[in-house]
Amino acid sequence: MTGDADLLRGVGAAIAAHRRAVGVTQLSLAEQIGRSVQWVSAVEQGRRHAERLTDLVRIASVIGCTVDDLIGRPLDTLTPRTDPSQDETETAAALRQVIMRSAGPVPVIDPAPDLADVAARVDQAWKVWHESPSAHRAVGAILPALVADAHAARATSSDRVGGARTLAGAYQIARQWLHHVPSGDLAWVVSDRAAHLAREADDPYLIALSAWALSGTYRSAGHQDEATRICLVAADELRARIDPANPRRDLLGAYGMLHLAAAVGAAQSEQDGRAWALHRVAQDTADALGRDYYDPWTKFGSGNVDIHAVAMSAVLGRPDDVVELSARLDLNNVPSVERRSAALISVARGFVRRGEDESAALVLLDAERVSADGVHDSTIVRELLRELIVRDRARARPHVRGLARRGGLLAT
């Protein structure tokens, strides 16, 4: 299979053949994998990609075959290595140890960390996350000590609310870092603890932020509907605590970010109309805050709302909309390399779906220049590169294979 259409028809035909062999209807398959019948039909007919590897895994599980059977070649020949780096593994282990030990008496640190100093370090960690091209490594290097010191500062400070707020902030940045490392159980623990601490501090901003983070954990686990529900419940609670006459800007930003996260969940559930309705609420909120406003932690703002529109179009399988919307993006005004890189990855996704491989490769190289960590650690990028590499005309492109090697997808 040398062309896009042949590749699509091959996978789709394999799905249809295995499905019929075991007597599973398209409706039954769709229900069991959380997709629509229209989506299954389009994939089987070669009119649409099964974009996510998780889709193929679920399909294979339902119809009793392997992913290798569906794609017509061993999966590990496409991406021989996708394991986390040694540094990531060591950081995750150290972070796990700190978090597990904190369930009991907090170890005494002499002298005890100053709460204000630790709070400033939490803010700095978020700054690094959004501004450093190597943010994953930079934040990973400081994360275990930051969480340990936040626990110790909270235990020794007389400021109960401030201690809970600071520790919740440390857990929030830990959750962001864990999103890029295959350590799902730890991400659940971190999200849950951040939520409890936010409630203890009775801080509406942190309560909203914890729901935003938890929704990301749910989406990663494939529970998109629950992720959307969590965000909307939190948004309703937050709205009741916003003073209409004198609204706090950080609370308005959190309200908008909750709707953006809910919109992503709805898009991943193929709830097209609902997704764009939720996105419109976020857009209106960003407009009310002004184009220069960006939340220091979530980077909610008008540019981020535009970036989410591109990402949602990619999720909904609308590559033409992705390319059209990308032409109107002004990424220079978005103060986050992580968000700018994510936007370019979405654009590359649209080009891949359109079969414009060279454009996709060039955009991915741009994304790598913006944030090398954001590209090298992205599951979506891995899937895009996998598709580019297996197409015959992509094999002659040394820059595609070079990107795959730098991201650890191919042996050097």
Task: Kindly state whether residue 215 falls inside one of the protein's structural domains.
Answer: no
Residues whose CB is less than 8 angstroms from the CB of residue 67 and which lie 6 or more positions away in sequence, other chains included: 53, 56, 57, 60, 75
Final residue of a domain: which of 77, 93, 125?
77
Q: What is the pLDDT of residues 139-152, one digit of tens each?
A: 999 999 999 999 99
Residues whose CB is less than 8 angstroms from the CB of residue 272 and which lie 6 or more positions away in sequence, other chains included: 316
Residues 296, 339: contact at Cβ < 8 Å?
no
Task: Kindly state whether residue 17 falls inside one of the protein's structural domains.
Answer: yes
Task: Kindly state whether residue 312 falls inside one of the protein's structural domains.
Answer: yes
Between CA 304 and CA 341 the distance in angstroms is 12
Q: What is the pLDDT of residues 23-77, one digit of tens each?
A: 999 999 998 888 888 888 888 887 666 656 567 778 988 998 887 777 665 444 4
How many folded domains does the chain comprise? 2
pLDDT (0 to 100) of residue 5: 43
Residues 202, 243: contact at Cβ < 8 Å?
no
Task: Kindly state whether residue 166 falls inside one of the protein's structural domains.
Answer: no
Task: Kindly state whether residue 230 falls inside one of the protein's structural domains.
Answer: no
In the numeric block, which tokens belong to residue 65?
Answer: 């075959």
Given a cut of 80, whether residue 4 has pLDDT beyond it is no
- What are the two backbone dihedrals, phi and then psi, of residue 198, each rounded to the nearest 5 degrees? -60, -40
Final residue of a domain: which of 77, 92, 109?
77
| Residues recorded for the chain | 412
Q: Which amino acid is at 201?
A: A
In the numeric block, which tokens belong to residue 116?
Answer: 């204000």
Please give the residue range of the domain that contains residue 408.
Answer: 301-412
User: What are the angstrom distances between the C-alpha of 26 and each of 251, 264, 276?
Assistant: 44, 25, 27
Q: What is the pLDDT of residues 97-144, one digit of tens each?
A: 888 887 667 666 778 899 999 999 999 999 999 999 998 889 999 999
Give the domain CATH number at 32. Answer: 1.10.260.40
Task: Kindly state whether residue 134 falls inside one of the protein's structural domains.
Answer: no
Task: Kindly state whether residue 258 falls inside one of the protein's structural domains.
Answer: no
Final residue of a domain: which of 57, 77, 97?
77
Given phi > 0 = left and psi -120 to 50 = alpha, else beta, which region is 299?
left
